[in-house]
Amino acid sequence: MNKKEKNRRLKYGALATVITVLGVLLVLAANLVMDKLSEKYGWSVDLTADERYAVSQTTIDFLGGLEQDVTIQVMKDEESLATGSYYVVQAYQVMMNYPRYSDHVKLEFVDLVNNPTFASKYPDLDLGAWDILIQSGDRKEVVAFSQMYDYSDDGSWITASRVEEKMTNAIQSVISEEKARITVLTGYGETSPEDLINLLEANQFEVTSQSLLTEEIDPDAESAILFAPQNDLESTSLKKLDAWLENDGAQGKNLFVFLDPNSAALPNLEAFLNEWGIGMEEGFAFEANSSLYYEKPYYPVAQYANTEYADSISGNGLTILALCRPVTTIFESKDNYTTDVLLQFTATSGVLPPDADTVSQENITGDVKGMVMSSHSWYGSDVSTSRVVLSGSAMAFTGGLMTSGTFANADYILGLFRKLGSQSGSVTIVPKDLTYTTHSMTSAQANVAVWALMIILPVLVLVIGIVVWLRRKHR
């Protein structure tokens, strides 16, 4: 090989090396620039199937229409949230969305260790580490970090994230003048509807509790809940319900009754409901078609007979009326009472008698109803209306059927409370189920991935380039 040929190869080899090095440097520079831009502007993409790091379109629309300034202050340094456990990072990523979708929202992180006097600015609040303070003007609300999640029955693991629900509804709370009040009625062996209460409180209802036996029903409550009574109501309690629903002629009240099919006979309550044109039947509702029930025939999928009260449900959301006692309408309209079927089952549905063990063809009757409503109206200069809603299933609004994102039970019942009450314009947010199998990385695994993409891969490309250059040089 002559000197001219050697010089030519050396020239091209050097050029290839320079191009390789420049390419590696360009990749490193692009990574660094994108990292800084992502950090500054919050660029990120949620690739999880259920978008657990994102916020729903409902929240995005709500933030887009926000006109008041809102400050969110997390009582912890940002690094602790950004690099914490999977659940902490999930909360952090969800919270980061709020200032992205509204210029009226400011998100701050306050390390109480380095700012010990911060809490003294709010003597009326008991602020601690990890608490979240949301405020607009003089209105404030504190959300404990532990309230951001639902837990298993034994409290050993997290089942659902309520971060978006808590954050969005806390913002609604601080920009709203007051909350609608709901009272839970007790005294007759009722089950406490904890999951329903949690849902209502998280969505800006004030929930109280009082005994029908010893107290008058709160006149300021717009709705009352009688949840799975085990014993029949006394006449004095029924008179209290009548008086409260009448409200001195002003009406405007809503009574929600949820039944337990295993309770004792309730003839007094049944007679009260019959006056409103609705009633209860014996047995359990079921679906014979396996595609229309969840795991068991006694967990039938409800059909939305009146879609006006199901408009808060997105997609193909399914409401499961588990262990549902059949309910019915006695008349359609009579003496200013009007009845309406809200939830029903299909032509393959039926009723299993209380003493039967298995479903048979003869039990299939079709047209079984799961939730009905009666409205009583006075027609004067203004129309005033009180309503009684009767659900054959109390179980449908407890446990996993309420907290799982798989079902629309929480969406439906929350939408119903709002539609019938004073919060018809409020947004509805439900928990995100975190029990699905996920492919998550630990901090160590994430570090390995970062090093592999930003250091190891570019160096590998550089080494390959040098090897190629050396081989060509000595060819």
Residue 7's Cβ-side half-sphere holds a number of Cα atoms within 13 Å equal to: 3
Name the nearest CA neighbour of 414 among 427, 405, 401.
427
3 state DSSP class of 91: helix
Segments making up each domain of the chain, as ranges:
3-45+441-473, 60-146, 180-433
- Tell me the two tokens of residue 247: 């409200």
Predicted confidence at residue 156, as pLDDT, reads 77
For residues 188 and 232, the answer to whether their CB atoms sit within 8 Å is yes
Q: At what angle do helices 409-420 and 194-202 cross, to 10 degrees?
A: 60
What is the DSSP annotation of 179-229? -EEEEEEESSSPPP-HHHHHHHHHTTEEEEEEETTTS---TT-SEEEEE--
Question: For residue 98, is pLDDT > 90?
Answer: yes
Q: Please indicate whether the domains covering 60-146 and 180-433 agree at the CATH topology level.
A: no
d(CA 187, CA 197): 17
The sign of the dihedral angle between the CA atoms of 169, 170, 175, 180 is positive
Q: Which CATH architecture has domain 180-433?
A: 3-Layer(aba) Sandwich (3.40)
Q: Which range among 118-127, 267-276, 386-395 shows the weakest confidence by mean pLDDT?
A: 118-127
Q: What is the mean pLDDT of residues 346-363?
A: 85
Predicted confidence at residue 408, as pLDDT, reads 86
pLDDT band at 278 (very low <50, low <70, confident <90, very high): very high
d(CA 339, CA 18): 82
For residues 392 and 259, the answer to whether their CB atoms sit within 8 Å is yes
Relative to beta strand 333-334, strand 180-186 is: unpaired
Q: pLDDT, tens digit, for every residue of 298-312?
A: 999 999 999 888 876
Q: Which range among 239-253, 254-268, 320-334, 461-475 shows the weakest confidence by mean pLDDT?
A: 461-475
For residues 161 and 184, the answer to whether their CB atoms sit within 8 Å is no
Mean pLDDT (the chain) is: 84
Question: For residue 281, is pLDDT > 90?
Answer: yes
Predicted confidence at residue 47, as pLDDT, reads 44
d(CA 426, CA 165): 12
pLDDT band at 403 (very low <50, low <70, confident <90, very high): confident
Residue 351's Cβ-side half-sphere holds a number of Cα atoms within 13 Å equal to: 19
3 state DSSP class of 57: helix
Predicted confidence at residue 358, as pLDDT, reads 78
Predicted confidence at residue 439, as pLDDT, reads 45
Predicted confidence at residue 179, as pLDDT, reads 80
| Angle at alpha carbon of residue 42, lines to 40 and 47, rounded to 5° | 145
Element (H, E) at 71: strand 70-74
Percent of the chain with pLDDT over 70: 80
d(CA 64, CA 303): 33
Give the helix ranges, DSSP H, for 42-121: 57-64, 78-82, 86-101
Number of helices (H) and strands (E), helices first, in the chain?
Answer: 12, 20
Fold of 60-146: Glutaredoxin (3.40.30)
Q: pLDDT, tens digit, for every residue of 18-77?
A: 666 676 677 667 666 655 555 554 445 444 545 678 898 889 999 999 999 999 999 999
For residues 418 and 426, the answer to whether their CB atoms sit within 8 Å is yes
Residue 318's Cβ-side half-sphere holds a number of Cα atoms within 13 Å equal to: 15
pLDDT band at 467 (very low <50, low <70, confident <90, very high): confident
Element (H, E) at 329: strand 327-329
Q: At what angle do helices 235-246 and 267-275 cross, to 10 degrees?
A: 20
